[in-house]
């Protein structure tokens, strides 16, 4: 839906940068996602990362958290997820 709105703006001559669109998406997340949004803002190059890739990274995080035991705290889960992502994707 958000991507459709951006496309409609572009049709009417208003160009939205990729970074701006990604930041808007991250800011629209519920407050429970503040830590992960902050990490993604700092970890990824938001001006080149597609919105689909950002969304997919968020979905992966959500699936991994849901799959982990409820005995772990959410902050522990965040740091485990970050550690795995940092080892998989190194900046070029």
List, for residues 37-79, the tens digit of each pLDDT value: 998 888 888 889 888 899 888 888 888 877 764 545 555 666 5
Alpha-carbon span 13 to 43, nearest angstrom: 31
Full domain range(s) for residue 36: 2-88
DSSP 47: T
Alpha-carbon span 89 to 81, nearest angstrom: 12
Closest CA to 64 of 36, 39, 45: 36
Note the helical H segments in the chain.
2-11, 18-27, 34-43, 51-67, 74-88
Burial of 40 (0-12, 13-18, 19+ CB in 10 A): buried
Asked if pLDDT for residue 26 goes beyond 90, the answer is: yes
- Where is pLDDT greater, at 86 or 53? 53
Asked if pLDDT for residue 12 goes beyond 60, the answer is: yes
State the average pLDDT for the chain. Answer: 79
Q: Is the pTM of this model over 0.75?
A: no
Domain count, the chain: 1
Asked if pLDDT for residue 31 goes beyond 70, the answer is: yes
The residue-averaged pLDDT of 11-28 equals 90
């Amino acid at each position: 839906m958000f991507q459709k709105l951006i496309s409609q703006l572009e049709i009417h001559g208003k160009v939205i940068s990729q970074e701006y669109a990604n930041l808007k998406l991250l800011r629209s997340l519920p407050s429970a996602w503040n830590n992960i949004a902050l990490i993604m803002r700092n970890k990824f190059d938001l001006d080149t990362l597609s919105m689909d890739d950002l969304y997919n990274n968020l979905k992966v995080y959500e699936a991994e958290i849901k799959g982990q035991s409820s005995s772990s705290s959410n902050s522990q889960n965040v740091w485990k997820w970050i550690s795995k992502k940092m080892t998989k994707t190194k900046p070029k």
